[in-house]
Structures are given as C-alpha cells and as structure tokens.
Chain A
Amino acid sequence: MSKDILVIGGGIAGIQSSLDLADMGVKVHLVEKLPSIGGKMAQLDKTFPTNDCAI
C-alpha cells in the first residue's frame, strides 16, 4: 500500500491538485514533460474577466 500520489502534468490543474494534496500532508510526485511547470497558463499575458496577471 502506498499513500503517495502521482500527478501527471504541471499546468494549472496539476499544480492545484498537487498543492491540495501536499497541504493535506500527502507526499506528491509531480511529473512534467517540459523543463518547467506552469503549462499553458504561464504563456498567458493576463486572464479574463479581471485582467489579472496569469503567473
């Protein structure tokens, strides 16, 4: 039995899943294909509908 969780993908969804679990005290392995996490959202300049920065 393992209590660790694997998250595949380091975009906004993978980041949020990982943070929730990690904050609960669960060990998370986050695997991302690219050199850095951030995903598509990191490429966005700003976000609707508040025009806040994406990063």
Chain B
Amino acid sequence: MLDVGRHPNIDLLAYSEIEKVEGEEGNFKVTVRRKARYVEEDKCTGCGACKEKCPTVVPDAFNEGMGERKAIYSWFAQGIPSTHTIDPNYCRQLQGKKCGVCAKTCQAGAVNFEQKDRVVELTVGAIIVAAGYDVFDPSRIPEYRYDKLANVVTAIEFERLLSASGPTGGHLDRPSDRAIEAEIEALEKKAGKSQKVIAKFEEQFGQASADFYSSFQKGEYKDDEERNKWAEKYKEHLEIVEPLEAMKKKAEGFTAAKRLAFIQCVGSRDFRFYPFCSGYCCMHSIKEAIIAHEHGPETTSTIFGMDIRAIGKGFEEYKIRGGNHSNITYVRGRVAEIQAGPDNNPVVIYEDTKERMVKSEEFDMVILATACAPTKGIYELADKLGIELDAYDFVKTSPLSPVDTSRPGIFVCGCAGAPMDVPESVAQASSAAERAAEIAFYGDARKEKAVA
C-alpha cells in the first residue's frame, strides 16, 4: 500500500469517481471527478492535529459504524494518502454554522472550505476494473435478527472488534455491553452535573441531601421555596443515580465474549439472495475463531455450516488445527433462526443434520459469515465502461480468459469478477496487469504480432 503512495509511476486519485468513458482499446478518454476533500492534498501532512480539535463526532465507517471519528478525518490511521478529509454532511462550517476550528489548528494551512470538486480527463490505453465487493446486508434475513439483537454481528464487524486498532482496542467486548457502558458514561456526566447543583444546596443549608430529603418527605419545609427546589433537584438526581448504580453493578459482571457462534452462508448458497458460494467465508470464520481464542484461551467457538470449504493452500490443515487447539467445534447444519435469550445472549436454533435433531444453544455472540455481494456501484460503472455483467452482477468473464471482459481493452480482477480470497485476487491482479501491459507496450502493433 505504501509503495503505491510513493511510486513515481502511479498517479493516485483517491476520493474520486469515474464519470465518463469514451473511445476504445488503446485510446480511452476517461473523465474522473475528484471530490472536494476541503483539505489540500499537497499541504496536508497527515499529522492529525485537526481531528483532535474538531468538535463534531461522527460514526466511523471504517470501523463499520462501531467506533467514532470526527467530521475531519483520515479513513484509517495508516491510510494512503494520509491526507485528511472533511465530511461535508457533518462539518459545522460546511453546514453553514460557525466553526473552522480545524483551519485554525492546521499549522500547514491545508484546510480549504472553498475547495470544489475537480474534473480531470485521462487518456489511457487500457482499463482494469478492480472495484471489489460489498458485504451482504444480513438484515435482509429477518429470522437472524441482525438489526434487533446487539450481539449478532457480521464477520467484518467482528474483525474490527478483534483488531487492536478497532473500536474496542482488540478486546472482545460485546456490543450490548458496550452500549450499556456508553449509557453509564452518559449518565455519569449527567449525575456529575446534578451533583454540583445539589452540592450548592448542601453548602447553603449545611445539611446532607439525604437527611434533608427524608425530613422533607415527612412534610417539613413545605413552604420554603428554596428547599422545595432542593427537593426537586435531589429527586431528579436520584432518578439518574439509582439506575446508574444498578447499571454499574451489572457492568461489573461484564466479561469478554467467550462463547461464539459462527454462521456460514449468510446470504450465499441461498436461493432468496445469492445462490453462489462466496468461497472465502469458511476460512474467514475459522480464522476469527482462532484469533478470538488467542485473545482469550477459554473462548469456545461453534461453526455452523453445510460444507466447510477449506480449499486453499494450508487451509485444511488450518481448519484441523483450529479444531485441535482453538476450541472450535464444526457443526453440520443450517441455522434456522436466532432468538433473543437472557442477558442479551443470542440463542441459535438449528438442525444438527448428523444427529438429525433440532437443537438450540445460547451464545455470548453470533458472527454472521455474510455473502460477497456485487458492489452497489458496479451496475452504473459497467454501464459507463460498456462491459457486460453476469446473472449476479459480477463482471462477466470466461474460464479460458479469466480477466478479459466483454469489451477489448478492459480487464477485471478480484471480487469485481467473482468472489475469491486474497491470493487469488493478487494472482488475478497480476494477470490483468499482464493483459493491460500487452496493450501498453505494443498498442496497435500488437494486433499483427500477437498470436492466440
């Protein structure tokens, strides 16, 4: 990634979109819209001082909305380019309010609220489509209750929870527990404020609030206006503190998630959504289970799947190692439903097809191995490029020329063509580079010289 940023032959146009493509192999005219970052790329050093001071907190898309970032942000800490970006949907200044704190903080003078989108024209000999994929939205499967049960997460969300750079610093805190902790934090702030208010009364009257309140409830001081206020404020305070204490007590019992369920083929191998197999999810779940076990050796994982497709180099061995050393149990069966259980524990209802029995089991967390879905923008992009898509909206290729699209001079690699894992994507990326290089190095002469 780093090499891309500093390679003299790579013109990196991040935060940009393809607008228009004209021409043909050897001579495509491409219009690219460079979206305004409101930060000048050549001045921003990526130091991050601006985001320290920015007052606007925004859900962090890189962390799948589980963490927070600021309205001025870098996509992720090691991102290339490291140039920061202002999110115009949240930025106070760009929303017409008074702010500009980032501009004042930036010692490089990189913030520019007047920046506009720019349109650049490129002339290229060939195009490689590496547009990737989207994570299937599991809320489309109502029986899995992804949007209702806090502790049912997608594999990529779980990835962020496992990551030291993620929202929990790599601790396997359950989303439901994190929500309660966030509530505690908010209530503590509120309690602090109300504590200050009643402390003033206590000083004024030289009496502890609790003592005063018990006499007040017995009917004393009814005519004292000030003391009535005190009673009112104290009552409000109790209404904050009492549930807060209860929550705190509950939170004392919070531990990292230890009993994990992984559900395979969520949205894939499913006629309602995508009938294909996404190829990498079995291994992804096994890896997450192994890493979770590294985080906490008492962690146990159950992987529910039809076939466990460990089809790459070293994969089957990895699967077996997971079973032997990382407390992974593989259950053959398709999960029918996920229900709400006690303590925010999801309950998995499934058929164990080997024992031919319907069973249910309670877990701390359930991780959904979601399908590799065609990326949303691909339809529009394919239209602009004039290339065909297959029945599922992946870019169409043929097995004997695996990176050639339906249009000469345009090639595809990675998950834009079909679901695949990293080494296959990398191998295909080199294949697409080879096909493109044939055009770059030979251009029109190629048609005579090339054979097959």
Contacts and interface: CB of A to CB of B under 8 A. Distances in A.
A45 B416 contact: no
A5 to B, nearest CB: 5
Given A1-B444, A13-B415, A45 B124 contact: no
Given A4-B440, A48-B287, A13 B428 contact: yes
B436 A5 contact: yes
B127 A13 contact: no
A55 to B, nearest CB: 6
Interface string A1-23: 11111111111111111111111
Contact of B7 (A22, A33, A39): A22
B287 A39 contact: no
B401 interface: no
Given A37-B4, A40-B133, A45-B291, A17 B14 contact: no
Given A13-B428, A35-B14, A45-B166, A8 B9 contact: no
Nearest to B286: A48
Interface string A32-55: 111111111111111111110001
B28 to A, nearest CB: 7
A18 to B, nearest CB: 5
Contacts of B162: 45-46
Interface of A: 1-51, 55
Nearest 9 A-B pairs (CB), nearest first?
A13-B414, A36-B79, A14-B130, A16-B429, A20-B433, A22-B9, A9-B130, A49-B318, A36-B75
B14 A32 contact: yes
Contact of B125 (A3, A32, A49): A3
A4 B122 contact: yes
